[in-house]
Amino acid sequence: MQRSCFLFFVHRIGLSMLMAACTVCTKGQSIAGLDSLLQSMAAKTKGAGIAVAVIKKDNLVYARGFGYRDVERRLPVTPETVFPVGSCTKAMTAALIGNLGARVALDAPVQSYLPGCKFYTTAMTEQITVRDLLCHRSGLARHEYSWFFMAAGNRDSMLKRVAFLEPNARIGEKWQYNNWGYLLLGMIGEKLCGISYEAAIHQYLLQPLQMTHSYFSLDSLLADKNAALGYKTVKGQAKLMPYHPMELMAPAGGLNSTAPDMARWVSCWINGKAVIPAAFRTQAISSQVVTKPALPYNDQAGTFFSNYGFGWWLASYRGHYRVEHGGNIDGFTSNASFFPADSLGIVVLCNRDGSLLPAQIRNAIADHFFQLPVPGRVTETKSTGSKPDKEPAQPPAIPETIPPTHALSAYTGTYEHPGYGRVTIIRRGDSLFAQMGAYTWWLWPQQYDTFRGVVFVAGERPDIDRPQLLLQFQVHPHGYIESLSIPFEPTVAPIRFVKQFLPPRPLPQLLTYTGAFKVGSDTVGVSLKEEGALYLVLPGQQLYDLLPLEEDLFILAGPKGYCIRFTRDKKGLITRFCLQQPNGNFIGERIK
């Protein structure tokens, strides 16, 4: 058959790689035909781009870019373009565990290697194994928004959160995707290797495979002239999205790479290269757990199972055994797959958020190489990746708005949950805003102490027709706001954030509360401590520190259910207080 030239690269994967510009034929089908097909599919990106690489045995037979890595400057995607690949990283984290050999037993408890790791229950801590994390069967709910919105300062801090993340299933009861499990696996790798996760991946995988354009650093991505920018589609147009920092959760989805580099990675799985121990490779791409029922349907007639190994999804595709994993992080969607019995590997990277195109292109390439007829209709589900779903679970629509029970200032403050971190509610003019890490949400009241929220970006009009968040404030029996609940994880109870005490108040402000107050026949004093705090003096009792929760509202340290609320006159002077106790309220009138 006549061969025609085209712009793509063919080379052998190995320690020495030869590049050649030519076209190959596979089972009588030309790469030129594939190129034409992908060109038409890539047009669906609305201006963003894709990079594709195809491995046949250990040869890179196709590497091509389509569209733009930078839409505004019209910079094209090439095979050298770097993309965040999201959860395609997970198979690398799994492979790192495999490279540890006898140093780690897959069926040993996680705590054997991470003594500081505690789960929600003692049974979970004692029984969850390394294998459970590798194949997502720990019983731990996803709890994505803890790391996505409110990541802690370092991985050790993230580790401490795990003890407060509620499960939604028994250990081994079912498969459910979990990024936290892969964070823990990465930390096990750090612990046993004695170096950082990133350094270990470089030493064991990236360097031996000569993946020279792959790295984890966000700073390096920002400085890389070949890096793709990420986009989402808004009203048919590509809109720029900032990179999401993934350093803390790197083992779950922090790699940045190119299509040819990822092809080297896929090739080592196809060909059983030494970087993946043979016994571990067999387990990793064999079914460890059933992910969902996968009976053949009219629109998925070639799918007979849907399972998970270690960092890989396993499925049948039109009579062929497929191993794959997707990745989805702000502005980017990726897919790395291979067919071990057919020695075919396919990598598709896209700089569009939540795109189905990588999976569709993967299937089209597989059909091309297997010489399968174009299916009449193929239903694809969105790949589960590093990134959580676009929106938390939305409750039923609330038909009418009822004003809040408190002044907006009463809701302001800092609220904390030990597994999720901090939410800060601030007031600007007549609106409340919730700050969660680098994200800000604009809130508006719905019913009483319930507010709706939508992500707020300076310079953009919030889309209030698509609220993404529901916040329910809880009122203490004494009338003040004591906590805030948000249904971040739909499979467990709403996450309850407890309102925190205010930071130390200025001395002149504290002095306005001090003095003597008449309560019935007794005199009660409010005094200032040397370290700049208030305390309450009750006749014949111990001194009680006053902890500020709101302006003019203090909680008594020690006994539960006691608070004191001060009242000001029109001039702003403190004239009285109400001491609220479980057995009643007591009014104190200022006498001096």
The pLDDT value recorded for residue 294 is 64
Q: Is the CB of residue 353 less than 8 Å from the CB of residue 375?
A: no
Long-range contacts of 291-299 (CB under 8 A, 24+ apart): 291/175, 292/175, 299/377, 299/378, 299/379
**Residue written as token pair 């959160």:** 161
Query: Which residue would you say has higher pLDDT here, 255 or 22?
Result: 255
Query: Which residue would you say has higher pLDDT here, 358 or 382?
Result: 358
Q: Which pLDDT band holds residue 296 (cuts at 50, 70, 90)?
A: low
> What are 79's strand-pairing partners?
none
The pLDDT value recorded for residue 438 is 87
- Per residue in 2-36, pLDDT (tens digit) is 333 323 333 333 333 323 333 333 444 457 678 88
The pLDDT value recorded for residue 1 is 36
- Could you please state the CATH topology (level 3) that the domain comprising 507-590 is classified under: Lipocalin (2.40.128)
In 3D, which of 259, 256, 277 has the Cα closest to residue 268? Answer: 277
Average per-residue pLDDT in the chain? Answer: 89
Range 487-500 burial, b when 16+ CB lie within 10 A, else e = bbbeebebbebebe
The pLDDT value recorded for residue 574 is 96
- What DSSP line would sit under 397-416, residue for residue? PP-S-B--SS-HHHH-EEEE
What is the spatial distance between Cα 464 and Cα 427, in angstroms, rounded to a whole number?
18
- Per residue in 545-586, pLDDT (tens digit) is 999 999 999 999 988 899 999 999 999 999 999 999 998 999
Q: Beta-carbon neighbour count of residue 560 at 10 Å?
A: 7
Ramachandran angles phi, psi of 192, nearest 5°:
-80, -25
Give the CA angle between residues 415, 420, 421 to the nearest 5°: 50
Query: Which residue would you say has higher pLDDT here, 463 or 208?
Result: 208
With a cut of 50, say whether residue 472 has pLDDT above it: yes
- Per residue in 219-246, pLDDT (tens digit) is 999 999 999 999 998 888 889 999 999 9
- Per residue in 54-107, pLDDT (tens digit) is 999 889 999 999 999 999 999 999 999 999 999 999 999 999 999 999 999 999
The pLDDT value recorded for residue 328 is 96
Q: Which pLDDT band holds residue 374 (cuts at 50, 70, 90)?
A: confident
Pairing of strands 515-519, 522-528: antiparallel
Q: Which pLDDT band holds residue 400 (cuts at 50, 70, 90)?
A: confident
Q: Is the CB of residue 483 less than 8 Å from the CB of residue 496?
A: yes
Average pLDDT over residues 102-118: 97
Q: Is the CB of residue 76 less than 8 Å from the CB of residue 83?
A: no
SS (H, E, C) 116-153: CCCCCCHHHHHHCEHHHHHCCCCCECCCHHHHHCCCCC
- What DSSP line would sit under 491-504, residue for residue? TSSPEEEEEPPPPP
Could you tell me which residues come within 8 angstroms of residue 419 by beta carbon, excluding any fewer than 6 positions away?
143, 146, 161, 162, 163, 164, 165, 166, 495
With a cut of 60, say whether residue 379 has pLDDT above it: no
What is the spatial distance between Cα 451 and Cα 434, in angstroms, rounded to a whole number?
11
Average pLDDT over residues 317-337: 96
Q: Which pLDDT band holds residue 48 (cuts at 50, 70, 90)?
A: confident
Question: Would you give the DSSP letter of residue 303?
Answer: -
Report the sign of the C-alpha dihedral through residues 196, 198, 199, 201, in that order. positive
The pLDDT value recorded for residue 20 is 31
**Residue written as token pair 């000569």:** 210
- Do 408-499 and 507-590 have matching folds? yes
Q: Beta-carbon neighbour count of residue 112 at 10 Å?
A: 13
- Per residue in 473-492, pLDDT (tens digit) is 999 999 999 999 999 999 99
Structure tokens at 131: 């294998």
Average pLDDT over residues 294-320: 82
Query: Which residue would you say has higher pLDDT here, 26 or 453?
Result: 453
**Residue written as token pair 């193929």:** 378
Question: Would you give the DSSP letter of residue 202?
Answer: I
408-499 has CATH 3.40.50.300 classification:
no
The pLDDT value recorded for residue 299 is 60
Structure tokens at 493: 């109870």
The pLDDT value recorded for residue 262 is 98
The pLDDT value recorded for residue 242 is 94
The pLDDT value recorded for residue 376 is 61
The pLDDT value recorded for residue 395 is 53
Q: Is the CB of residue 370 less than 8 Å from the CB of residue 363?
A: no
Structure tokens at 194: 């004695």
% of the chain surpassing 90 pLDDT: 75
In 3D, which of 204, 206, 223, 222 has the Cα closest to residue 214? Answer: 206
Q: Which pLDDT band holds residue 378 (cuts at 50, 70, 90)?
A: very low
What are the residue ranges spanned by the domains of the chain? 408-499, 507-590
In 3D, which of 383, 347, 394 has the Cα closest to residue 177? Answer: 383
